[in-house]
C-alpha cells in the first residue's frame, strides 16, 4: 500500500480522486500552535529526510505519530515547537533535494539541520521554502520566489520561474505552487486544475520536459493545502 499525507481539510472530491490513484489517505491533524490558514498543512508540520525517515514537530498528535510508525516510518521529533509567529512557524518548511538542502538556515530546526549535514546546505532569505517550491525531480523545480531563483542559479538546477498569485489559500491573499502538489510515479498531482490557472501552459510544458503528466484532484482553481507527501510502499 502507498500513502498520501494531506491536510485534514481536503474535500470529498479530492479524497475520492486520491483513493482512485490507489493510495491510502493519512490526514495531517490540525496544529493549534499555527494560525488557521496553515494549521493542517503537512509541509509546516513534518519534513521528510528521506523516503523512510520523517521529522515531525515535537507537539504532534500522538495518534498521527503512531500511524506513521505503523507504516514503517522512522519518526524523529523536532527540537523546537511551532508557533503562529514567524520565524517559529517555518522550522520544518525547507526544500530538501537529494543533494541540496535549501532554507533560511538561521531558523531551521536544529534536529532537522543535523540530519542533512551530508548535503550541500544553501541559505536563502525565503523561510517558507517548501511552500514556495514544487520539486519536479532532483535537478528541477518550479518556484515564484526570486531569492530562491537567484541563489540556485549556480547549482545546476533547472528552474521554472512563475509569477506569484492566482493560487487560493483561504484566509490569506494567495498561496504558493509548492503547497498545491506532490509527485507520484510519473505524475504531478494537483489540488485544483491547471486549466483554471493563469500560467498553466508554462507548467505543463515544464513537466513534459521531464516526462511528467499532471493529474487534477478537483475542478476549479489551484489551492494551497500544504503539499502532498506521497509515501512509497515499504
CB-CB contact of 120 with 100 (8 Å): yes
What does the buried/exposed string (b/e) look like for 61-89 if buried means 16 or more CB atoms within 10 Å of the residue's CB? eeebbebbeeeebebbebebebeeeeeeb
Neighbours of 210 (CB within 10 A): 13
Domain extents in the chain: 2-231
CB-CB contact of 94 with 107 (8 Å): no
CB-CB contact of 222 with 196 (8 Å): yes
Q: Is the peptide bond before 87 cis (omega within 30 degrees of 0)?
A: yes
**Mind listing the pLDDT tens digit of every residue in the chain (234 residues)?**
899 999 999 999 999 999 999 999 999 999 999 999 999 999 999 999 999 999 999 999 999 999 999 999 999 999 999 999 999 999 999 999 999 999 999 999 999 999 999 999 999 999 999 999 999 999 999 999 999 999 998 899 999 999 999 999 999 999 999 999 999 999 999 999 999 999 999 999 999 999 999 999 999 999 999 999 999 876
pTM above 0.85, yes or no: yes
Residues in the chain: 234
Q: What is the C-alpha to C-alpha distance for residues 45 and 67, in angstroms, rounded to an integer?
A: 15
> What is the third-level CATH fold of 2-231?
3.75.10
What would the DSSP string read from start to end of 100-129? EEEE-TTTS-HHHHHTTTTSEEEE-S-S-H
Residue 143 sits at the vertex; the CA angle it makes with 190 and 33, to the nearest 5 degrees, is: 75
Q: What is the C-alpha to C-alpha distance for residues 178 and 135, in angstroms, rounded to an integer?
A: 8
Amino acid at each position: 500500500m502507498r500513502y498520501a499525507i494531506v491536510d485534514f481539510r481536503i474535500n470529498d472530491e479530492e479524497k475520492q480522486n486520491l483513493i482512485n490513484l490507489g493510495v491510502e489517505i493519512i490526514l495531517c491533524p490540525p496544529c493549534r500552535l499555527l494560525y488557521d490558514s496553515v494549521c493542517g498543512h503537512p509541509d509546516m508540520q513534518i519534513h521528510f529526510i528521506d523516503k523512510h525517515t520523517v521529522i515531525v514537530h515535537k507537539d504532534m498528535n500522538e495518534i498521527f505519530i503512531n500511524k506513521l510508525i505503523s507504516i514503517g516510518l522512522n519518526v524523529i521529533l523536532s527540537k523546537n515547537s511551532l508557533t503562529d509567529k514567524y520565524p517559529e512557524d517555518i522550522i520544518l518548511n525547507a526544500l530538501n533535494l537529494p543533494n541540496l538542502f535549501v532554507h533560511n538556515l538561521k531558523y531551521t530546526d536544529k534536529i532537522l539541520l543535523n540530519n542533512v549535514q551530508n548535503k550541500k546546505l544553501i541559505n536563502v532569505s525565503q523561510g517558507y521554502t517548501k511552500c514556495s517550491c514544487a520539486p519536479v525531480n532532483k535537478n528541477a523545480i518550479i518556484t515564484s520566489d526570486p531569492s530562491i531563483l537567484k541563489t540556485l542559479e549556480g547549482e545546476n538546477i533547472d528552474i521554472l520561474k512563475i509569477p506569484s498569485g492566482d493560487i487560493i489559500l483561504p484566509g490569506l491573499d494567495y498561496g504558493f505552487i509548492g503547497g498545491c502538489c506532490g509527485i507520484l510515479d510519473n505524475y504531478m498531482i494537483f489540488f485544483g486544475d491547471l486549466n483554471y490557472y493563469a500560467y498553466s501552459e508554462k507548467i505543463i510544458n515544464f513537466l513534459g520536459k521531464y516526462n511528467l503528466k499532471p493529474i487534477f484532484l478537483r475542478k476549479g482553481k489551484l489551492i494551497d493545502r500544504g503539499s502532498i507527501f506521497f509515501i512509497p510502499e515499504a
